[in-house]
A and B are shown apart, each in its own frame.
Chain A
Amino acid sequence: MARGSRVSISERTVVTTRVASPFRSYTDGRAIVESRGATVREALADLDRRYPGMRFRMIDEQDRIRPHIRLYVNTDAVEQLDHRIGRGDTLHLICALSGG
């Protein structure tokens, strides 16, 4: 595939993104939003452009997923931000914490 067309697909890939409640102050209360990108990294960058500050609350400055955040593409746990996303996939932004 030509380099140019790959960028083009990345830009057009629209991912359904399910947003856990702690993030909804960024998404105007919406539980489902769209993000665009061929990888989780690109999708999160797109989300941060539209909802400034959201990415840093879940990904630290060393590009690590924060301890109480879980990301899934469909049912696959995301370990690396370069995890690929395809058209029709769902990206889940999940928070997990116990205690009072």
Chain B
Amino acid sequence: MARTLWVGTRKGLFALRSKESRRDWKLVGPQFLGHVIHHVVQDPRDPKVVLVAAKTGHLGPTVFRSSDRGRSWKEASQPPAFRRSGEGEAPKAVDAVFWLTAGHAGESGTWYAGTSPAGLFRSEDAGASWQPVAGFNDHPMNPTWIVGQGSPIGQLLHSVRVDPRDARHLYLGVSSGGVFESTDAGADWRPLNAGCAADFMPDPDPQYGHDPHCVEVHPTMPDRLYQQNHCGIYRLDRPGQRWSRIGDAMPRRIGDIGFPIVLHPTDPDKAWVFPMDGTTVWPRTSVDGKPAVYATHNGGKSWHRLDRGLPRKQGWFTVLRQAMCADDEGKKLGLYFGTTSGEIWASRNEGSSWTCLARHLPQVFSVTWGNG
């Protein structure tokens, strides 16, 4: 079966296609030329289905859906949109659909979307129509939890995660707001941020207001969560309530700031990050212009550098939160990332060496794995 790496960029959707060997890749596209593609997700429950979060500079946000592996597309009949605001309420409108998550394996056709400004939406018809999740969007604490602009493109709701054991158990991340958890299918939520730093706030250990960049739940050990945060790399083992800063084990000169964190699909002790410069004015480039992936094989007790094949110097890109992923090829696990300078890099050996698959693309926002 063919392998597909979906690439969402600032100017359109691309795909890299390969046979099972993953040695030779062919770049195809663009589709949706000129559209800002924040996220592309192929449905693990039904690989024929692919959803794309799109907008353009001029036009408002929408979701496109394919039911033939990306050959043809149909626009959502009802894209994510907040409810009409009541009298005296600040009106909220979706500016961008930023994040897509396929729902629980037992709930075919269910999807979640996260938006800017921060909103959570759910579809039960494979992305054709979307409804606001009132339990989060209208939670009485929502205006208190989520403060400020969040990111240069506004507040972002991302990292919607569904516990594979329980469709009603959900996590999400908000920049800036923090990590939140629901155990009743989104009817109610509570912050889950204890232990995470928020050094841009006066309170050294606040309950909320944090800036998670990417939150992951391990698929085979769902009580283990990892988080790449604005203020470090963290791990949380439930039912624990307090995150531990596993990024403290990163080399001090590299630091533990970045956007993505990628987990091994079966080994809960393995994870990869792409550190960036989070010092002084936050250049958000690879540290010293020497890009590298860092890996842990022991749940964050130690990290090692993986930069063979990557530029040795003057490589000033970074990797955004949706733009790094793993495949599902077992012992020869592949890793992939796309850069802010429009390159796609791949490793067929868990990051030991890297090859550039594509250059000169627009800024890469999303790199996701698909089969077929």
A and B found bound together: yes
Binding site for B on A (CB under 8 A): 20, 22-23, 52-53, 56-62, 64, 66, 68-69, 95-97, 99
- In the bound complex, what is the Cα–Cα distance between A19 and B93 (angstroms)? 24
Q: CB distance A62 to B58 under 8 Å?
A: no
Main secondary structure of the interface of A (DSSP, over half): loop
Find out whether the CB atom of B57 lies under 8 angstroms from the CB atom of A62: no
Contacts of A99 in B (CB 8 A): 57
Q: Given A53-B77, A56-B79: A62 and B60 within 8 A (CB)?
A: no
Interface size grouping (class) on chain B: 10 to 19
Q: Which residues of A contact B93 (CB under 8 A)?
A: 60-62, 64
> Closest residue of chain B to A63, judged by CB?
B84
B328 beta carbon closer than 8 Å to chain A: no
Knowing A62-B93, A64-B91, A64-B93, the reply to whether A57 touches B60 (Cβ < 8 A) is yes
CA distance A56 to B59 in the complex (A): 9
Asked if B66 lies at the interface with its beta carbon under 8 angstroms from chain A, I say no
A22 and B56 in contact (CB under 8 A), knowing A60-B93, A62-B92?
Answer: yes
Q: Are B58 and A60 in contact (CB under 8 A)?
A: no
B75 CB contact (under 8 Å) in A53, A62, A64, A97: A53
Q: Collect the chain A residues with CB atoms within 8 Å of residue B79's CB.
A: 53, 56
Show the binding face of B for A, using Cβ within 8 Å.
56-60, 62, 75-77, 79, 81-85, 91-94
Selected from B60, B75, B83, the residue in CB contact (under 8 A) with A60 is B60
Residues of A within 8 A of B94 (CB): 60-61
In the A-B complex, list the 6 residue pairs whose CB atoms are closest, starting with the nearest: A60-B93, A95-B58, A61-B81, A57-B59, A62-B91, A97-B57
Do A52 and B84 form a contact, CB below 8 Å, given A62-B93, A68-B57?
no
A56, B81: Cβ atoms under 8 Å?
yes
Task: Using CB atoms, name the residue of chain A closest to B34.
Answer: A22
**Are A69's CB and B91's CB within 8 A?**
no
CB-CB < 8 A to B60: which residues of A? Answer: 56-60, 66
A52:B77 contact, CB within 8 angstroms: yes
A97 CA to B56 CA, complexed, in Å: 10
Q: Is the CB of A68 within 8 A of B58?
A: yes
Q: State how many angstroms separate the Cβ of B276 from the closest Cβ of chain A.
A: 23
User: Given the complex, which residues of A lie within 8 Å of B82, measured CB to CB?
Assistant: 61-62
- Neighbouring B residues of A20 by C-beta, 8 Å: 58
How many angstroms between the C-alpha atoms of A22 and B82 in the bound complex? 24
Min Cβ gap A15→B in Å is 21
Can you list 25 pairs linking A and B with CB atoms under 8 Å apart? Answer: A20-B58, A22-B59, A23-B59, A53-B62, A53-B75, A53-B77, A56-B60, A56-B62, A56-B81, A57-B59, A57-B62, A60-B81, A60-B94, A61-B82, A61-B83, A61-B93, A62-B82, A62-B84, A62-B91, A64-B93, A68-B58, A69-B59, A95-B59, A97-B57, A97-B58
* B183–chain A nearest beta-carbon distance, Å: 29
Q: Chain A residue with minimal CB distance to B82?
A: A61
- Closest CB in chain A relative to B127 CB, distance in Å: 13
How many angstroms between the C-alpha atoms of A33 and B3 in the bound complex?
42
Q: Which residues of A contact B84 (CB under 8 A)?
A: 61-62
Q: Given the complex, which residues of B lie within 8 Å of A62, measured CB to CB? A: 82, 84-85, 91-93
Give 20 new A-B contacts, CB below 8 A, not counting A62-B92, A62-B93, A64-B93. A22-B56, A22-B58, A22-B59, A23-B59, A52-B75, A53-B76, A53-B77, A57-B62, A59-B60, A60-B81, A61-B94, A66-B59, A66-B60, A68-B57, A68-B58, A68-B59, A69-B58, A95-B59, A96-B58, A97-B58
Output the least CB separation between B252 and chain A (Å).
37
Give A60 to B61 CA distance when docked, in angstroms.
Answer: 9
- B59 near A58 with CB under 8 A, answer yes
Residues of B within 8 A of A69 (CB): 58-59
Determine the chain A residues whose CB is within 8 A of the CB of B56 once the complex forms.
22
The smallest C-beta distance from A63 to any residue of chain B, in angstroms, reads 8
User: Bound state CA distance, A99 and B57, in angstroms?
Assistant: 9
Docked complex Cα distance between A61 and B80 (Å): 9
